[in-house]
Structure 1
Amino acid sequence: MILAAEFARCADQYADSPALPGPDSSIDYRALHERSLRAAQWLSGTRAVDDRPRIALAARNSTTWVTAYLGILHAGAVPFLVDASASDSELERICEDCSLDLILHDRDTPGDVIPALPGLTATHRHVAERRHLLHPGTEVCRFTSGTTGKPNCLEFSGRAVRAAAENWAAGTAMTADDRILCCAGLSNGLAFNTSLLSSFLVGAQLLLSHGLPTSGRIRRLASETRPTRLVAFPALYDSFVRTGAGRTDFASVRVAISSGAPLRADTKKRFTELTGVPMGNYYGVAEAGPLTYSTVTSAQSLGRPLPGVDIQTRGAIDQDGAVHVRSASMATRYLNAPGLLESRIDDGGHYSTGDRGRLEAGELVLTGRSNRMINVGGRKVDPVEVSNIISTVPGVEQAVILEVPDQHGEPAVAAVLVLGEGFDVSEVRLRMRDNLAAHKVPTLIRVVETIPTTVIGKPVFHELRRLFDADSS
């Protein structure tokens, strides 16, 4: 398999160089490879219907996470990378929908202890007949919210994953001298594409943020580990600016990389003024990988296409158009939604992103979205999925999920509910938390007697948004 061979080559080439350093411990490339092979021996015994076990990895960033990921690849299995914040019920739905064989997690639930993977627990699944067959070339699966009301499982070939890493490393001039401090979960596209294989390809060092990436914690970690690159979502940079991050904390950082959500122009400017660190905007979509990057663009621009990327904006001349992209790092398909991804790719191989924008002197400027996906701190939330889950909560008769600005003007998940007689909204909130990942739980809720609808029964969103105006709370 391509990825297992690629990581083995990196381990041989950079054997004694630090791969995953940290303030408390450090591991070099050779030791990481040896640990992953020991993990592979244990994982190779996973029961499966076919010869490629499907293994979910749902845990927080750690050296063990990386070891497990590599071990799954070396065992000839397929890793399914799940957001660590997914609730137990969400993880269960993913397992059922994708017919997974084993879950590796760091949750307080029963399972087998794996000596080669300290801190992770293995929970075996009942092996059943596959509902959806994996593509023969698939080596990694990741998840993204979509328009189907459930997380879409993206299948990636080893060639596509390697291309994403190679093109990112080349397009951003990453070298063996780099130390990348990654503040995003490794299952997320921001971290997966910019900080995992790409770091290893050039022999760089990958520094992982453990626990909640608060402004103060990351500042201390940056001061201790002296990274050259900082990778984080815009919300963390907003927090740095609000708390007045200084030059001392980020003295070693040569560039701060942001993606996953629009970066405020004032945040970009103010962060550089406070720290002296230039910011690089990175635009990518889960289905196509990293697409643009630049540190010398205007506040609105997301930069020029990376190697292997073609971007088109389709619409009237001199007007914003629909953004279509083609890359060497495209996903093959959605495992659990057959035909859906293929329907969004035209005859020329371009994927319709759902974004709108324009190209100015070859640089991409985004101006909006053509769908109602909610972007919460870089994580996409599907209103259909959240509405479907909340509608199953006892007492909820109707639920409409929408995006409204929070007190800082950032996108927030909001819910308008119709409750049955005798049901209290506080009880409903608790049930939501049991069934949804934290970032999907509505932070703003309004209870109404009836949902305003059009003559054909669709919710009237402009009326619903008025419920969240400051003077109506």
Structure 2
Amino acid sequence: MSLAADFERCADLYADNVALCGPDSSVDYHELRENSLRAAEWLSGTRSADDRSRIGLAARNSSAWVIAYLGILHAGAVPFLIDASVGDSELDRILDDCSLDLLLHDRDAAHDSIHALPGLTAIHRHLGERRHLLHPDTEVCRFTSGTTGKPNCLEFSGRAVHAAAENWATGTGMTADDRILCCAGLSNGLAFNTSLLSTFLVGAQLHLSHGLPTSGRIRRLVAGAQATRLVAFPALYDSFVRTGSSRADFASVRVAISSGAPLRADTKRQFTELTGVPIGNYYGVAEVGPLTYSTTSAAESLGCPLPGVNIETRGSDAQDGAVHVRSASMATRYLNAPGLLESRIDGNGHYATGDRGRMVEGQLVLTGRSNRMINVGGRKVDPVEVGNAVSSVPGVEHAVVLEVPDQHGEPAVAAVLVLREGLGADEVRLRARESLAAHKVPTLIRVVDAIPTTVIGKPVLHELRSLFDAGPS
């Protein structure tokens, strides 16, 4: 069954239920189907260099985004879901690298943009021969930052997308009574896997937010939607804790979902203490979809595998090994990096995540990254281990550990810190030595007011590295 047919079934089952509430409109399942079919009529006229049109969707969360996405599927085309925040040069690179025929966007209209669908404009592309041909099973493409110096375009079959949504809904107990407030961009795996098809499969309501997700604004949206689930990146939960949220702010919420970047243990604990709402930690990998889920108070646990997921840890130490995963929601390949994804999957279909961890009573605990070690004089240093040790020093609000070259050009352990008033870098070094070997203690430290992050809450590493260009601290 195709993804378009999936949604048709949902629209028949839940026709009169409210399906979607966005900043621009609110529609039931019947209206959402009718609007997406009208969009499909317009999109069906898109010219293609092969049998299926490739349509990029780079816009903020809105009803128009969801209607366009469903319209692309109904038109028999392939949606390429692009982060709305990407810069113009990166967007141009994606358009060319993936041979897109059309771009739907909500940016300031360019000279070659035309009115397309309500809330969106379009840019047609004039293409010759395709650089890379789509896999016959591909129904959706999404992007992940890759090790190749460009965004890697992941191809997903309809079966994989359906499996991710169904297994998430089943594994986390979603029902038609749920009202999901999604504060993450729908092109991102956190939102795509937890809040789009999964919502529709059970007949629930999807409430969308776009723009700057300030804590006050999201509190108002929670109250207005009477949301039962909140989906957001860790930075928003940090904000709730800083501003002193209360149970009254989240009276309707049964669970908060977090992923995309590490969630601070203190944030998880304090948010639940303040609001009474557990945070569901979700571990996923872009290439294989959602893998685990947990609302346990144990900060180190990422929970049990979701349905359709198998996790193995491999190495000489059975209690701490390389994490390999297999799921029903795995991508088929990278469209623009032939052979790369396949090289990371073994003969049994397990993908090498690059993480290290162990299984404890059926739950996954991550202990570091196996392929991001810092080589200090021939000795390997795990930045995750160092980051955990530095973060445990009282007064360290936020810490990012990374590799930078020292004055001789050799790899060095560096840290960028946000500190409470009165705490200095030398004191952090001294306290870190209590739990770390000498060669693991950061030799280079910069103290900042705030860590620069991407829209999903991950540190912007090139900005952090630039802090060390002036030399040692």
Per-residue CA shift, 1:187-221, capped at 9, x if unaligned? 00000000000000000000101211111111111
Name the counterpart of 1:106: 106
Quick check: 2:44–2:75 contact (8 Å CA) kept in 1?
yes
After superposition, give the CA deviation of every residue in 1:154-208 in whole Å (9 maximum; x if it has no partner). 0000000000000000000100000000010000000000000000000000010
Deviations 1:258-308 (A, max 9, x none): 111221111111000100101111100000000001213511000000000
* Contiguous gaps of at least 5 residues in structure 2: 374-382, 385-401, 403-408, 421-443, 445-453
**Pairwise mapping of residues 8-407 of structure 1 onto structure 2 (< 5 A)?**
8-21=8-21, 25-110=25-110, 111-114=112-115, 117-296=117-296, 298-372=298-372, 404-407=415-418
Q: Quick one: which amino acid aligns to residue 331 of structure 1?
A: A
What's the offset of the Cα at 1:22?
5.1
Q: Deviation of residue 104 (structure 1)?
A: 0.3
Give me the whole-angstrom Cα distance separating, in 2, the residues matched to 1:19 and 1:440: 39
Unaligned stretches of 5+ residues in structure 1: 376-382, 384-397, 410-415, 417-432, 450-463
AA in 2 matched with 1:44: S
Distance in 2 between residues matched to 1:312 and 1:364, nearest whole Å: 10
Cα pair 2:24 2:62 within 8 Å, conserved: no
Hey, what does 1:423 align to over in structure 2?
Answer: none
Query: Is the 1:86–1:438 contact (alpha carbons within 8 Å) kept by the matching residues of 2?
Result: no
* Matched letter for residue 179 of structure 1: R
Residues 45 and 439 of structure 1, relative CA distance in 2, 3 Å threshold:
farther
Post-superposition Cα deviations, 1:428-471, rounded to whole Å, max 9, x if no partner, equal xxxxx9xxx9967726634748xxxxxxxxxxxxxx7xx4xxxx
Q: 1:25 to 1:46 in 2, by over 3 A?
A: closer
- 1:328 is displaced (CA, Å) by 0.2
**Mean CA deviation greater in 199-208 or 213-222:** 213-222
Residue in 1 that maps onto 2:389:
none
Shift of 1:370: 2.5
* Closer, same or farther: CA 223–45 of 1 in aligned 2, 3 Å: same
Matched length: 405
- Larger RCO (alpha carbons 8 Å, 6+ apart): 1
Please tell me the root mean square deviation across aligned C-alpha atoms, in Å.
2.7
Aligned to 2:180, the other structure's residue is in SS state strand
Q: 1:403/1:293 Cα in 2 relative to 1: closer, same or farther (>3 Å)?
A: farther
Q: What amino acid is the match of 1:151?
A: P
TM-aligned CA distance change 1:206 to 1:288, over 3 Å: same
Structure 2 distance, partners of 1:191, 1:243, is 25
TM-score (norm 2): 0.81
Aligned amino acid, residue 13 of structure 2: Q
Task: Assess if the C-alpha contact under 8 Å between 1:237 and 1:267 holds in 2.
Answer: yes
Residue 463 of structure 2 corresponds to 442
Letter matched to residue 155 of structure 1: E
Q: Deviation per CA, 1:16-36: give whole Å up to 9, x if none.
A: 100013587421011011111
Residues 1:101 and 1:171: Cα distance change in structure 2 (over 3 Å): same
Distance 1:440 1:127, change over 3 A: farther
The Cα offsets for residues 92-129 of structure 1, whole Å up to 9 and x where unpaired, read as 000111111100001113244446x2221100112120
Paired AA for residue 175 in structure 1: T
Paired-residue identity, %: 74
CA distance 1:109–1:249, change in 2 (3 Å):
same
User: Letter of the aligned partner of 1:160 in structure 2?
Assistant: A
- Say whether the 8 Å CA contact 2:25–2:63 is kept in structure 1: no
Partner SS state of residue 162, structure 2: helix
CA contact (8 A) 2:180 2:195 kept: yes
**Rounded Cα–Cα distance in structure 2 between residues aligned with 1:50 and 1:23:** 36
Counterparts in 2 of 1:446 and 1:317: CA distance versus 1, 3 Å: closer
Take 2:462 and 2:14, find their aligned partners in 1: how far apart are those partners? 43
Is the 1:297–1:303 contact (alpha carbons within 8 Å) kept by the matching residues of 2?
no
Q: 1:455 corresponds to which residue? A: none
Q: Distance in 2 between matches of 1:218 and 1:307?
A: 31
TM-score normalised per structure 1: 0.81
